[in-house]
Structure 1
Amino acid sequence: MSTRTVAVASSSGLHARPASIFTQAAADSGIDVLIAHGDEDPVDAASILLVMSLGVPSGAEVTLSADGPDADRVLDELVALLATDLDEEP
């Protein structure tokens, strides 16, 4: 299983717009990705309700994990996404 740890760059943390963008990318990845924050159990990264329930604030670290042949590539892409302020309009 591959894992990555990243600090969430969005000013609102993983809430609303950033959570929506992140969970859609996780769902579109084609593999099961888990996200964990602090001592909480990992949750499905493709579920906006579960991701928002983690209550991840800006600057907090989360750990992503996935298994499979494309896991490293997918995790690298998701880490890059979380390291970007997703609250800003493109």
Structure 2
Amino acid sequence: MEKQYKITSAEGLHARPCTLLVSAVTPFASDVQISYNERSVNLKSIMGVMALGIPSGATITISAEGADAEAALEKAATVITSEGIGIEA
């Protein structure tokens, strides 16, 4: 399962939104990945997500695989939209 988002936050995916996303998906058992520019990292790793250097206007893909994949994607979607990080692409 996967969903795409356009980052609308003026600062892009900097420390605060990265922390919010990592914290949101960490409780889930599923493998959750974030992809940008043909690179993919574990969304449960703050350093991995920060290393992607995702700017404002970028399109990212969040994918999940596992027993609670749908719930993990829904939680990530809620954080992205409610915190003003981005919109569904």
Provide TM-score, normalisation by structure 2: 0.81
What amino acid does structure 2 have at the position aligned with 1:56?
A: I
Q: What secondary structure is seen at the aligned counterpart in 2 of 1:69?
A: coil
Instruction: Please list every run of 5 or more consecutive structure 1 residues that lacks an aligned counterpart in the other structure.
Output: none
Partner of 2:22: 23
Two-structure CA RMSD over aligned residues (Å): 1.6
What amino acid does structure 1 have at the position aligned with 2:52?
A: L
**Which range moved further: 20-29 or 46-55?**
20-29
Q: What secondary structure is seen at the aligned counterpart in 1 of 2:79?
A: helix
Partner of 1:85: 84
Q: Does 1:12 align with 2:11?
A: yes
Q: What secondary structure is seen at the aligned counterpart in 2 of 1:17?
A: helix
> How far apart, in 1, do the equivalents of 2:12 and 2:3 lie?
18
Shift of 1:6: 0.9
Partner of 1:59: 57
What amino acid does structure 1 have at the position aligned with 2:2?
A: T
Instruction: Please list every run of 5 or more consecutive structure 2 residues that lacks an aligned counterpart in the other structure.
Output: none
Whether contact under 8 Å (1:9, 1:82) holds in the other structure is no
Shift of 1:65: 1.0
What amino acid does structure 2 have at the position aligned with 1:72?
A: E
Shift of 1:20: 0.8
Provide TM-score, normalisation by structure 1: 0.80
